[in-house]
Amino acid sequence: DGGITQSPKYLFRKEGQNVTLSCEQNLNHDAMYWYRQDPGQGLRLIYYSQIVNDFQKGDIAEGYSVSREKKESFPLTVTSAQKNPTAFYLCASSNDRGNTDTQYFGPGTRLTVL
Amino acid sequence: GQNIDQPTEMTATEGAIVQINCTYQTSGFNGLFWYQQHAGEAPTFLSYNVLDGLEEKGRFSSFLSRSKGYSYLLLKELQMKDSASYLCAVGGGSQGNLIFGKGTKLSVKP
C-alpha cells in the first residue's frame, strides 16, 4: 500500500534534548512538508523540500532542522533551541513541487516535553 | 497579508445539512482545499476547487467564488462519524505551501 508513515506516534522528551521525528513516503512524491499543529491554531509550516538535497524554511523554522538525502525520507529534528516544542507534528507530501497539488498527510507524531 | 477565516465551531443534527464557510485573502491563489481531521488524527483530503462553481462528491460538495474570496463545504445527510474538524486551505503561499485556516469543529448530535 502506498502512503506516508511517521514514527513514533507518541514521543516524550526531556528539556534540553534533541529529538528526531521520522517521515517516510512510498508515493514517489517530489515534495515533502513538515507542519506543526497546536490547539486552536491552524497548521503552520516548519520546513519543506521540493527535491532531494534541497529544503526551505517555512514560517516557524527556528529551533528545527531537516535533511532530505533520499526522495522517500524527510526527518525533522526538534532541537533544544525550540522554546515550546510540545505539539502535534504532521508530515505531508505532494506530487507537484508547487502548491497546486493535493498534499497527503502522515498519521502524525505527538511530542511532549517533560 | 495572508488570512483565512472560518467559524470555530458548529453543531448540527444527524441527517441534516450543514454549510461550513471559508473566506480568504492571500497574495496568490492556486486552488482551495478542504480537509477533514478527526481528533488526534491526520487531515484527510476532501475536495479541491480551482475554478468558480460547485464540485460534488457524494454527500460532500464544495463551492468556490474567486472574486469574493469565498468557499463553502456542504455536508448532506449528516452522520455521527462526520463529527470532526474541517480545514480550509488555500494554495497561494509564496513558499510553495498551503495556507491553512484554524479549522471548524463540527459536532453532530443525534
Chain A residue set in contact with B, beta carbons under 8 Å: 31, 33, 35, 40-45, 48, 50, 56, 58-59, 88, 90, 97-100, 102-108, 110
Whether pLDDT at A97 is above 60? no
**Cα–Cα distance for residue pair A99/A15, rounded to 1 Å:** 35
pLDDT on residue B94:
62
3-state secondary structure of A87: strand
Whether pLDDT at A114 is above 70? yes
Strongest mean pLDDT among A95-109, B21-35, B88-102: B21-35
Contact B10, B20 (CB under 8 A): yes
**Nearest residue on chain A to B41, judged by CA atoms?**
A107
Give residue-wise pLDDT tens across range A18-77: 999 999 999 999 999 999 999 888 899 999 998 999 999 998 999 999 999 999 999 999
**Cα–Cα distance for residue pair A88/B47, rounded to 1 Å:** 23
Identity (one letter) of the amino acid at B106? L
**pLDDT class for A99, splitting at 50, 70, 90?**
low
CA of B16 to nearest chain A CA: how many angstroms apart?
26
Between chains, do B96 and A104 touch, taking CB under 8 Å as contact? no
Between chains, do B93 and A45 touch, taking CB under 8 Å as contact? yes
- A104's grid cell: 497527503
pLDDT on residue B91:
86
Burial of residue B46 (number of CB atoms within 10 Å: 0-12, 13-18, 19+): middle
Whether pLDDT at B93 is above 70? no
**pLDDT class for B108, splitting at 50, 70, 90?**
very high
